[in-house]
Structure 1
Amino acid sequence: MRHIIVVCVLSTVCNLAYGVGLDSLQIYKAGGSCPWNYKDFAGWGVCSSICNDMQQSPIDLPIKYLPEQSEAPAIDFRKYRYSQPATLIKTDHNINFMFKGSKVPSISGGYFMEKFKFEQLHFHWGETNADGSEHLVNGEAYPGEVHFVHWNTKYASFGEAASMPDGLVVLGFFLKISDESTKGMKTIARGLKKMKADKLKTLDIEEVSLTDILGFEPRKVADRYAYYEGSLTTPPCYESVQWHVFQRMIKVTRSMMRAFRAFNKFTPNFRPVQPLNGREVLVGGVPM
């Protein structure tokens, strides 16, 4: 399914809500005449009929085994180590992280041919540590999941790329409860607590890099991921995402997870897994 069909009351409002040229926050909010939430999933199809299509995300990853040596093409990470100013943004459904600096990270390689520029990352979590991740692994959930969103630079903007079949690459990393956390997650957690205490919608935070958030060099896991073709996990559910879900997880503490859950208006904020519908899932380059 590659045709974009959006159901709204007024076509003009539809264009404003989902049209080409919008930035990532507008697309992920998908508000206007098409409000949605994490309680009425059936209502997502009213916002966008694409949410009922055949290549939706997330999925339950059927990982039968992990190959000793990955056959997957490695991803080339650029400027992931650069520290620069960033902003946390509270939307109606999530917390988004965006850079303010000019050193934009990017990726190439993997199962995609073009260069993809980093746009933002955001988090999904649940009410307890028993769930919260969007993707599952053989039916198992994790306390949360981080999505690093990148868009194809052959298009003029994120808004244009988001609706194209080859428009987006999202790198997914599960959150893992640990006694220690990564440097970047500590910075984000401090920001979350201040946003909640001061009732802020945006907050500039200290300089941080994507590697700081991960807590490890991404090149070390460049070929250790599960791959499949899917969609955005929020309305308008565009089926434009090449998903790379990694085996290595990001360490967070229990107190950090409580900082996310303090935003109880949209906790939990994860979509249930969707039918695979015959799609191929590659783990370490091997079909599962």
Structure 2
Amino acid sequence: MIDYLPKYIIKVVIGTKWKTERPYLEGGIFLEKHVLSQIHFHWGADMTEGSDHTVDKRRHPGEMQVTYFRSEYMNQEEALRHPDGVVMVCYLIKYGVLPDDRLSWVIEGFPRIREAKTNTRIGPYPMSHLMPMFHEDYFVYWGSLKTVRGESYIVRWLVPRITLSASFEQMKEFRKLWNPWDEPNLRNFRPLQEQQDRHVFFISPHWSQYNSLLPIPRVPEPSISVLSPAYQANLWMLPPQNAYMLPEPEPEEQEAVVETEEE
């Protein structure tokens, strides 16, 4: 759960330019188009830490956060002033034995940005190569974003179950980057926050919920389903896949018929 605290954090940020329309999010929980703004990364000092989010109480070595804002606003700064303006899609980076090609072209530029506040060019590459597409199996909640200037904004956070992966050598490249004091920038992730009154929604779960990041189908555990009062009053609104919850019709009373037989 993220609630950004005022803190000076050094990150790797990817900014992009397009000659045509920007990549965007649309559909699912979004009624409006959200365009891509920037991408940045968080990591830790070893393979047991680094991600801002945890799922199933597990922390991973890194996290890639992709910022989008509603297309009707001029830029990200203006969108932050609106409670529905900014969406952050957070891809957890899990440990993988083999290097992940999706991260290789980003890490390729790290030797040229070893010092803080430097930049370089990478690509061009299609953004779809770096960001896995998804339309189901993701968590969403409303959280806050606080800046070093003490400003606070409302942001929607999405955490898809689909993840990136990085080898041990790839994660070491993140820790070779320097902070402004010419020291290795070993960690830049945020401390976990309490859930408090925030609600986390699991959208269109496709795989088993037993382990949210391992897409392994499992036998579902028995559960008790209860119709809400709204559905009880309007049974016709119940989705077809929940038809098993419809109450069985009461047997009709039949009149007894007595016949006599002639001998």
Q: Do 2:65 and 2:91's aligned partners in 1 also have CA atoms closer than 8 Å?
A: yes
Q: Do 2:2 and 2:52's aligned partners in 1 also have CA atoms closer than 8 Å?
A: no
Structure number with the bigger relative contact order (C-alpha 8 A, sep ≥ 6) is 1
Q: Equivalents in 2 of 1:111, 1:276: separation in Å? A: 21
SS at match of 2:73: coil
The answer for the alignment partner of 2:136 in structure 1 is: 223
Kindly report the root-mean-square deviation, in angstroms, between the aligned alpha carbons of the 2 structures: 2.6
- Asked if 1:162 corresponds to 2:108, the answer is no
Among 199, 202, 208, the residue aligned to 2:125:
208
Q: Do 1:144 and 1:175's aligned partners in 2 also have CA atoms closer than 8 Å?
A: yes
Residues 153 and 238 of structure 1, relative CA distance in 2, 3 Å threshold: farther
| Structure holding more helix per residue | 1
Partner deviation per Cα, 1:147-203 (whole Å, 9 max, x = no partner): 01001112222111012100101111000121333333101111012322x777010
TM (norm. structure 2) is: 0.67
Q: Do 2:9 and 2:188's aligned partners in 1 also have CA atoms closer than 8 Å?
A: no
- Asked if 1:115 corresponds to 2:33, the answer is yes
Instruction: Map 1:2-41 onto structure 2 (within 5 A).
Output: none
Among 157, 167, 172, the residue aligned to 1:253:
167
SS at match of 1:99: coil
Q: What's the offset of the Cα at 1:93?
A: 1.1
Q: Which amino acid aligns with 2:44?
A: G
Q: Do 2:139 and 2:159's aligned partners in 1 also have CA atoms closer than 8 Å?
A: yes
Instruction: Map 1:45-194 onto structure 2 (within 5 A).
Output: 57=3, 93-103=10-20, 104-194=22-112
The answer for the alignment partner of 2:177 in structure 1 is: 263
Q: What's the offset of the Cα at 1:233?
A: 6.6
SS at match of 2:145: coil
Q: Which amino acid aligns with 2:30?
A: F
Q: Do 2:109 and 2:122's aligned partners in 1 also have CA atoms closer than 8 Å?
A: yes
From the CA coordinates, give the structure whose radius of gyration is larger: 2
Q: Equivalents in 2 of 1:253, 1:233: separation in Å? A: 32
Residue segments in structure 2 that go unaligned for 5+ positions in a row: 180-184, 206-263
SS at match of 1:179: coil
Q: Which amino acid aligns with 1:167?
A: G
Residues 156 and 194 of structure 1, relative CA distance in 2, 3 Å threshold: closer
Q: Equivalents in 2 of 1:183, 1:150: separation in Å? A: 24
SS at match of 2:120: strand
Among 272, 279, 284, the residue aligned to 2:198:
279
Q: Equivalents in 2 of 1:112, 1:124: separation in Å? A: 26
Q: Which amino acid aligns with 2:152?
A: Y
Aligned residues: 197
Q: Equivalents in 1 of 2:103, 2:29: separation in Å? A: 28
Q: Equivalents in 1 of 2:189, 2:175: separation in Å? A: 12
Q: Which amino acid aligns with 1:252?
A: A
The answer for the alignment partner of 1:240 in structure 2 is: 154
Partner deviation per Cα, 1:48-79 (whole Å, 9 max, x = no partner): xxxxxxx9537xxxxxxxxxxxxxxxxxxxxx
Q: Which amino acid aligns with 1:250?
A: L
Q: What's the offset of the Cα at 1:254?
A: 1.2
Q: Equivalents in 2 of 1:233, 1:252: separation in Å? A: 29
Q: Which amino acid aligns with 1:180?
A: L
Residues 145 and 251 of structure 1, relative CA distance in 2, 3 Å threshold: same
Residues 153 and 252 of structure 1, relative CA distance in 2, 3 Å threshold: same
Q: What's the offset of the Cα at 1:269?
A: 0.6
Q: What's the offset of the Cα at 1:234?
A: 5.3
Residue segments in structure 1 that go unaligned for 5+ positions in a row: 1-54, 59-90
Residues 114 and 101 of structure 1, relative CA distance in 2, 3 Å threshold: same
Q: Equivalents in 2 of 1:109, 1:234: separation in Å? A: 29
TM (norm. structure 1) is: 0.62
